[in-house]
């Protein structure tokens, strides 16, 4: 049970927090208008690599990865609402934000599908 909490809640919050802190730094740069796309371009490959590394040595069901993805989306939406919309009074929800939410589901599920593939017999 503890491993499931780490895989879903802890990794989900850490992933969100890294992006949030980076976005606060980018907010004070000339790239404010495109910071969402910058974050997606930079952190998507990093998140994929980390997710693969994190789950690589365990045999888990596809439903486990689906649960991870759903949890990561919920964490992203709730924390964005609390710490961006309410705290910073930001109301921007553009295409980059929706792509980010989709990736929070697709990354763990996609990594899970790759990790679950069995090598073809020769």
Q: Which of 64, 50, 74, 46 is nearest to 112 (CA)?
A: 64
Question: Per-residue pLDDT tens for 86-99?
Answer: 988 887 778 999 99
State the residue for tokens 């980076």. 22
Q: Which of 33, 27, 35, 71 is nearest to 51 (CA)?
A: 71
Judge whether residue 9 has pLDDT over 70: yes
Distance between terminal CA atoms of the chain? 38
pTM greater than 0.85 (yes/no): yes
Sorting pLDDT into bands at 50, 70 and 90, what band is 120? low
CB neighbour list of residue 79: distance below 8 Å, 6 or more residues apart: 13, 16, 20
Judge whether residue 30 has pLDDT over 70: yes
CA-CA distance, 71 to 32, in Å (whole number)?
A: 28
CB neighbour list of residue 82: distance below 8 Å, 6 or more residues apart: none
What average pLDDT score do residues 98-114 get? 96
More confident site: 122 or 107: 107
Sorting pLDDT into bands at 50, 70 and 90, what band is 47? very high
Q: Which of 34, 13, 30, 29 is nearest to 79 (CA)?
A: 13
What average pLDDT score do residues 106-110 get? 98
């Amino acid at each position: 049970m503890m491993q499931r909490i780490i895989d879903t809640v802890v990794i989900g919050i850490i992933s969100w927090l890294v992006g949030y802190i980076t976005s606060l730094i980018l907010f004070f740069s000339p790239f404010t208008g495109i910071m969402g796309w910058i974050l997606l371009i930079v952190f998507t490959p990093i998140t994929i690599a980390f997710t693969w590394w994190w789950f690589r040595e365990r045999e888990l069901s596809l439903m486990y990865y689906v649960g991870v993805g759903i949890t990561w989306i919920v964490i992203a939406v709730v924390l964005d609402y609390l710490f961006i919309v309410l705290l910073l009074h930001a109301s921007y929800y553009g295409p980059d934000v929706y792509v980010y939410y989709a990736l929070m589901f697709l990354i763990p599920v996609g990594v899970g599908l790759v990790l679950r593939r069995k090598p073809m017999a020769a």
